[in-house]
Amino acid sequence: MSSDDLQDTNTEARFEFKKEQKAAEVAEKGLTEETVRMISEDKDEPEWMLERRLKALNVYQEMPMPTDWPGQPDLSDVNVGEILPYIRPDIETRGGEDDWDDLPDEIQDTFDKLGIPEAEKKALSGVGAQYESEVVYQNMKEEWEDKGVVFMNMDKAVQEHPEIVREYFMTRAVPPTDNKFAALHGAVWSGGSFVYVPEGVTVQMPIQAYFRMNSEGMGQFEHTLIVAEENSEVHYIEGCSAPQYATHNLHSGGVEVFVKEGAHVQYSTVQNWSKNTYNLNTKRAIVESDGRMEWISGSMGSKATMLYPSSVLQGPGASDNHITIAFAGEGQNIDTGAKVYHNAPDTKSTIESKSISKDGGRTNYRGLVHMGTNAAGASTSVECDALMFDNESTSDTMPYMEIRESDVDVAHEATVGKIGDEDVFYLQSRGLDDDDAKQMIVAGFIEPITEELPIEYAVELNRLIELEMEGSLG
């Protein structure tokens, strides 16, 4: 076996393994008031959080399943009544250990295979690791804690920082009324990350959370809340994976980011869900004057994805940047995009979307740019590029522009094409075989996103793309 073959095998093994793990608490299938109360009681939550869960449950029960978007993924197989909404793994410390050696062997082995301890040593300021419905490990380097940076799991934040959580949690950025799956999330959320960066503090190395679904037929509903105070800076990286099962899994996370005046937040995601998973997330940032928000995301895996990170530019001079890459293979429908609301003057946004489809897969860019009546001097640029491998694959672009102010600058460009035979032939004439030539073309195509990631994650993203092209994952 060659070194390349060995690397492919090791990369695939990192995601496709399955572990038998004891659970301390498992909810009944489905979504009922009793289930919501059980989750809240198991976490010993204050009454105000239980009230928010129950209100979200009522919203969920009243809202219809989304079906009216043109070309959206088919969600008819999403049966919440058959989903396990809550599985608490059996670990001694509620809220997560701060030492790998204190975790059960099965969970240690899971995250060792995913490379989390090694990444923490080499490239990160802090790490959180969630297994099923609960964070099992959480650690932040002392130098950042000494500066007042808080990085902990959301369940612990509810107990230790109730004043901050109560102010921001699903009140302004992602209320339960936003969509049906946001309401579902609000009712049964569990785990996730809480990040608080004080005024003027720059966290110089990224922090990462990794979310792993291990059990068949479960739902994972982690919540991430980031508050970056004035003139602060932080880079948060999210990784996700799950093994392949015959039964559908559901991932419906929620992300809320608050970028205060002059602050800068970069949120990077590399998702590799198995192809039996429905990935239905809601992510939104509220950006104040001269604040800067960046969304960097790579979406591989999943049976269907509906994901549109959005930013609300609330203050003058606020800016937003989206760079996304989506890959769809056989049987996959990856519907992704971005939303930007320009609600103040002199705001700026850029959206750069890349998609790749092969073997009959479908990718779609679905985006919204809203220029409000008080957005004079605002500007936006949207660029969508799609690459297809064959005649069976599909790629669409559905940009929506709502312009309610005349003094704005709006640009949109979209290209769709197949890998050209002449390009492949040229690279073959330089000594590359057909597969290597196509992989080189794809590597160049996705370079804008890999340039924005730390080198360890850029390499990982390229390896995942190569494996998807070879049909090795899922």
424 vs 294, residue with greater confidence? 294
Q: Please give the Cα distance from 250 to 254 (Å, whole number).
A: 13
pLDDT tens track for 373-400:
999 999 999 999 888 888 888 888 899 9
Helix, strand, coil distribution of the chain in percent, nearest 5: 30, 35, 35
CB 304 within 8 A of CB 278: yes
Taking Cα atoms as reference points, which of 437, 436, 419 lies closest to residue 427?
437
Statement: residue 19 has pLDDT above 70: no
Helix, strand, or coil (residue 426)? helix
Report pLDDT for 307.
94
pLDDT of residue 217: 72
62-66, 420-424, 442-446, range with the lowest pLDDT: 420-424
> How far is the first Cα of the chain from the last one, in angstroms, to the nearest whole number?
22
pLDDT at 135: 58
Q: 458-461 contacts: CB < 8 A, separation 24 or more?
A: 460/270, 461/270, 461/298, 461/325
Structure confidence at residue 372 (pLDDT): 97
Q: How many C-beta neighbours within 10 Å does residue 104 have?
A: 18
Query: Per-residue confidence at 453, pLDDT binned at 50, 70, 90?
Result: low
Q: What is the DSSP letter of 293?
A: E
3-state SS, residue 314: coil
**pLDDT of the residue at 17:** 41
| Nearest-angstrom CA–CA distance, 79 and 406 | 45
d(CA 294, CA 277): 26
Residues in the chain: 474
Least-confidence region, from 33-37, 137-141, 357-361, 469-473: 469-473
CA separation for the pair 30, 433 (Å, rounded) = 50
Residue 52: its pLDDT value, please?
Answer: 98
One-character DSSP codes across 117-147: HHHHHHH-SEEEEEETTEEEEEEE-HHHHTT
Q: What is the pLDDT of the chain when averaged over all its residues?
A: 81
Residue 244 banded pLDDT, cuts 50, 70, 90: low
pLDDT band at 433 (very low <50, low <70, confident <90, very high): confident
- Is residue 351 within 8 A of residue 366, CB to CB? The reply is no
pTM of the model: 0.84
CB atoms within 10 A of CB 125: 21
Interval 156-204: pLDDT, tens: 999 999 999 999 999 999 999 999 999 999 999 998 999 999 999 999 8
Query: Residue 205: which pLDDT band, with cuts at 50, 70 and 90?
Result: confident
Rounded CA-CA distance 160/251 in Å is 27
Q: What is residue 37's predicted lDDT score, i.e. its pLDDT?
A: 96
* Weakest mean pLDDT among 131-140, 215-224, 419-428: 131-140
- pLDDT at position 5 is 43
**What distance lies between CA 386 and its chain's CA centroid?**
21
* Residue that is written with structure tokens 């790579």 in the block: 298
Q: What are the pLDDT digits (tens) for 313-353?
A: 999 999 999 988 888 888 999 999 999 999 999 999 999 99
Q: What is the pLDDT of residue 124?
A: 45
For residues 360-365, average pLDDT: 92
CB burial of 316-325 (b: ≥16 within 10 Å; e: otherwise) equals bbbbbbbbbb
DSSP run (H or E) holding 282: strand 282-287
Nearest to 385 by CA among 361, 411, 359, 417: 417
Does residue 36 have a pLDDT over 70? yes
Rounded (10°) angle between helices 116-123 and 455-470: 150
Distance CA 99, CA 341 (A): 42
One DSSP character per residue, 185-212 reads HHHH---EEEEEE-TT-B--S-EEEEEE
How many domains is the chain partitioned into structurally?
Answer: 1
- pLDDT value of residue 168: 98
> Pairing relation of β-strands 150-153 and 87-89?
unpaired
What is the residue type of 385?
A: D
User: Could you give the 3-state DSSP secondary structure of residue 41?
Assistant: helix
Between 258 and 271, the more confident residue is: 258
pLDDT at 15: 43
What domain range includes position 151?
3-470
* Range scoring the smallest mean pLDDT among 16-30, 113-127, 219-233, 266-280: 113-127
The tens digit of pLDDT for each residue in 111-126 reads 555 554 454 444 445 5
Return d(Cα 193, Cα 157) in angstroms, integer: 9
- What are the beta bridge partners of residue 399? 367
pLDDT of residue 305: 93
Report which of residues 140 and 370 the model is more confident about: 370
Q: What is the per-residue pLDDT across 281-313, written as a single tens digit (0 to 9) for each?
A: 999 999 999 999 999 888 777 899 999 999 999
Spell out the residues 6+ positions from residue 173 whose beta carbon is closer than 8 angstroms to its own: 256, 257, 258, 284, 285, 286, 312
pLDDT higher at 414 or 138: 414
Q: What is the percent of the chain with per-residue pLDDT over 90, rounded to a whole number?
A: 46
